[in-house]
């Protein structure tokens, strides 16, 4: 089987919520020398988008989100020993999914990557209110605020966070990066955030760039 075919198997197993097939395909990928970042970017990343689209279309519900998320967690446990960093980032990151959004798949992948790279991560979980984001920025003083949003209905909440940070005089104290399926560079530019993550690895690299300066 080709590298592309193996990665496709991982994607399909996650979408179809087949844990055994997902783990088996992941282990085959590693024995074939496929890089963990390629597995995550092309296999897991693609599956996350498909699952999110199904949820938006009401073809999948919370149960399916939880199940697919658990499969990704198990795959990440297999991949973690193979993820090595040449340089350790030294920064505190505040991470959370915007209010109204119960997705934690993408957020958890980002968290795992960041911790592997040496970031101190404060994970607020899902459905995080503007007040909680702002108050935690005030108390914890993170260098980076990373907001995940996988459904378009929660995008206005991200803009509320940006406005609240500015109102409270905290905007200049923290870099803000936003990522998720419905997010675009135009949206990020319009709300005045600092970065747009197309996927987990993209987001990681942007944050590393900020932390290592």
φ/ψ of 95, rounded to 5, equals -125, 140
pLDDT at 86: 59
pLDDT at 12: 97
Cα separation, 28 vs 24, whole angstroms: 6
Cα separation, 18 vs 25, whole angstroms: 11
pLDDT at 37: 85
Q: Could you tell me the sign of the dihedral formed by the alpha carbons of 49, 204, 93, 165, in that order? A: negative
Please report the domains of the chain, with CATH numbers, ordered by start residue.
3-82 (1.10.1240.10), 92-211 (3.40.50.280)
pLDDT at 56: 76
pLDDT at 87: 59
φ/ψ of 90, rounded to 5, equals -120, 90
Asked if 110 contacts 198 with a C-beta cutoff of 8 angstroms, the reply is no
Q: Report how far Cα 73 is from the mean position of its chain's Cα atoms.
A: 12
- Please list the alpha-helical segments (H only) found in the chain: 3-15, 19-31, 36-38, 45-56, 62-79, 105-116, 130-140, 155-167, 185-191, 200-211
pLDDT at 213: 67
Residues of the chain under the 70 pLDDT cut: 85-89, 213
Asked if 49 contacts 72 with a C-beta cutoff of 8 angstroms, the reply is no
């Amino acid at each position: 089987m080709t590298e592309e075919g193996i990665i496709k198997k991982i994607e399909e197993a996650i979408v179809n919520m087949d844990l055994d097939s997902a783990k088996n395909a992941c282990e085959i990928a590693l024995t074939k020398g496929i890089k963990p970042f390629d597995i995550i970017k092309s296999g897991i990343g693609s599956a996350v988008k498909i699952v999110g689209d199904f949820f938006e279309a009401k073809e999948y519900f919370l149960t399916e989100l939880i199940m697919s998320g658990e499969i990704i967690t198990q795959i990440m446990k297999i991949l973690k020993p193979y993820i090595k960093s040449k340089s350790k980032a030294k920064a505190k990151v505040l991470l959370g999914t915007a209010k109204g959004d119960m997705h934690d798949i993408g957020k958890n992948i980002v968290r795992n990557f960041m911790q592997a790279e040496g970031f101190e991560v404060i994970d607020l979980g899902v459905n995080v209110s503007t007040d909680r984001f702002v108050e935690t920025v005030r108390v914890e003083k993170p260098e980076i605020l990373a907001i995940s949003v996988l459904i378009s209905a929660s995008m206005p909440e991200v803009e509320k966070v940006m406005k609240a940070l500015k109102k409270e005089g905290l905007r200049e104290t923290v870099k803000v990066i936003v990522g998720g399926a419905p997010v675009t560079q135009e949206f990020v530019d319009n709300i005045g955030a600092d970065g747009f993550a197309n996927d987990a690895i993209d987001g990681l690299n942007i944050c590393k760039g900020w932390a290592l300066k």
